[in-house]
Amino acid sequence: MTETERPRHLRTFARRLATSQEAGLVMVLALVTLGLTLFAGSHLDRSAGAMVNDFWNSHTLIQTATDASFFAIMAVGATVVIISGGIDLSVGSIYALAGVTMALVLRAAGPMAPVPTVLLGLVVCTGVGLICGLINGGLVVGLRVHPFIITLGTMWMLRGVAFVASRAESILTPESLTGFAKAPLGLGGGLYPVPMLAMILAAVAGSVYLTRTVMGRHVFAFGGNLEASRFAGLPLQRIQIGVFAVSGLTAGIAAFLGAAFYGSASSGDAQGYELYVIAAAVVGGASLVGGKGSALGATLGALLIVLFRQSIRTLHLDQNYEWIVIGGAIIVAVVVDQWSARVTARRLSRTGEPARAATAGTG
C-alpha cells in the first residue's frame, strides 16, 4: 500500500466504523450510561469514607455485565440462527436441561470423580447443549417444518425433561464450581469478573466464526438468498443443522456459568430468557428475515437491555415496566432496521440509474 493510498483506506475504514450498526449501539449505550450516572444519586461508602455514585461504581458495573453475560452468550448463538433465516425459541429450556443434567451428574460422581469437577461440568453442559441443538436442526431439516414450530415444541419438551429429571428440585452444585465462576482474578472486594470475561470471549469467537470462516459466510449466504445458495451448491442441510448446533452450544456454556455462579440448577432456570435472547439479537441489528446480524451487535444489545432494566431499578421505577420497555425496544429496532433497508435500497437504485443509462447509450 502506497503513502497516498493509506489515508484513503483509513478514511474508508473510519467511515464504515462510524456508520455501522454497532457504532450506533455504542452511542446509545454511552448515552444511557451517562443518564444513569447523572440521575442515579449517590451514597456514603463507609469503608472508603467517601460518596459513591449509585450506578457508576465497580460493583454495579460488573454486576450489570454479569446479569447480561448469561443471555448475551446465548444471544450470540441465537444470532447465528437468525442470520440463517431461522429462530430458536428453545434456548432457555436447553439452558435449564443442561444445568440440571450437570448438577445431577456431579452429584452422582461425588468427590471421587475421575476428572476435575469444573472440566466435567463444562463437558456435560456443552455436550447436552450441543445434542439439543443437533436435535432441533435435525427436526427442522428432516420434517421440513418452520423452526418457529419445531423450537416452540422442543422448548416445552426439554423443560419438561428437566422437570422430570430433577423432580422439580433445586440441585446444588459443588463449591469448586462456584469458586471457579466467582474467582476474583485479583480484583477482590466481592467483584466477580469471570462471567463478563466469558461474554467477551463469546462475542469475539462469534465474530471470528461469522466473519472469518467459510462456515460463517455460508450462514450469511443461506439467510440472504436461499435459492442462490442452492444453485451455488452449498450444503444447505448441513448449514441449517450447524446453526442450531451453535445455538445449543452457547446455551450449554451459559448454563454452566449460570449454575456455577449461583450454586444451583433447577428446571425453572432461564424461564423467559427466550425474550431477552431474541430481543438482544434484534436490538443488536439481526434481521428476522435473515442475512444480517453480528455477534458483537448481539452482545451490545444484551448490555443495552440490561441497562434498561438497571435504569428502572436505579431510578426506583415500577419494575413491571421492564417488559414494556423490552417489547418497545424490539419494535423500535425492527422498524429502524426496515427503514434503513428501504433507504439503502432507494440509494442503490438511484446510483444504478446512471450506469444503466450509460450502458444503453453505448449499445
Tens digits of per-residue pLDDT, 229-255?
999 999 999 999 999 999 999 999 999
Question: Which pLDDT does position 186 carry in this prediction?
Answer: 83
Q: Say which residue, 80 or 57, is predicted with more confidence.
A: 80
Residue 342 lies in a domain: no
Q: Any alpha helices (H) in 213-320, and if so which ranges?
A: 214-224, 226-231, 236-262, 273-283, 295-314
**Using one digit for the tens of pLDDT, what is the confidence trace for 28-47?**
888 889 988 988 888 777 77
Q: Say which residue, 99 or 111, is predicted with more confidence.
A: 99
CA distance 63 to 61: 5
Question: Which pLDDT does position 363 carry in this prediction?
Answer: 36
Question: Which pLDDT does position 52 carry in this prediction?
Answer: 85
**Residue 17 reports pLDDT greater than 90:** no
Question: Which pLDDT does position 357 carry in this prediction?
Answer: 40
* Cα diameter, the chain: 82
Question: Which pLDDT does position 325 carry in this prediction?
Answer: 77
Q: Say which residue, 50 or 108, is predicted with more confidence.
A: 108
Residue 21 lies in a domain: no
Q: Average the pLDDT over 187-210 and give the result.
A: 92
Residue 15 lies in a domain: no
Write the CB contacts of 309 (distance below 8 Å, at least 6 apart in sequence).
67, 322, 325
The C-alpha cell 442441510 sits at 237
Residue 72 lies in a domain: yes
Residue 110 lies in a domain: yes
Kindly tell me the burial class for residue 264, based on how many C-beta atoms sit within 10 Å of its own C-beta (0-12, 13-18, 19 or more): middle
**Residue 131 reports pLDDT greater than 80:** yes
Q: Which helix (H) or strand (E) holds 62?
A: helix 58-83
Write down the mean pLDDT value for the chain. Answer: 87
Residue 75 · residue 299 · CB < 8 Å: yes
Residue 123 lies in a domain: yes
Angle between helix axes 194-212 and 214-224 (nearest 10 degrees) is 70
Give the domain range for residue 246: 57-271+288-294
CA distance 173 to 105: 10
Residue 213 lies in a domain: yes
**Residue 351 reports pLDDT greater than 60:** yes
Report the domain count for the chain: 1
Question: Which pLDDT does position 14 carry in this prediction?
Answer: 57
Q: Average the pLDDT over 75-87 and give the result.
A: 96
**Residue 334 reports pLDDT greater than 80:** no
341 band by pLDDT with thresholds 50, 70 and 90: low
- DSSP label at residue 190: T
Instruction: Identify the three-state secondary structure at position 43.
Output: strand
Question: How many other β-carbons are positioned within 10 Å of the β-carbon of residue 40?
Answer: 20
Residue 296 · residue 199 · CB < 8 Å: no
262 band by pLDDT with thresholds 50, 70 and 90: very high
Which of 207-211, 221-225, 330-334 comes out lowest in average pLDDT?
330-334
- Centroid of chain to Cα 227: 28
**Residue 221 reports pLDDT greater than 60:** yes
Q: Which helix (H) or strand (E) holds 113?
A: none
Cell of 101: 443434567
Residue 135 lies in a domain: yes
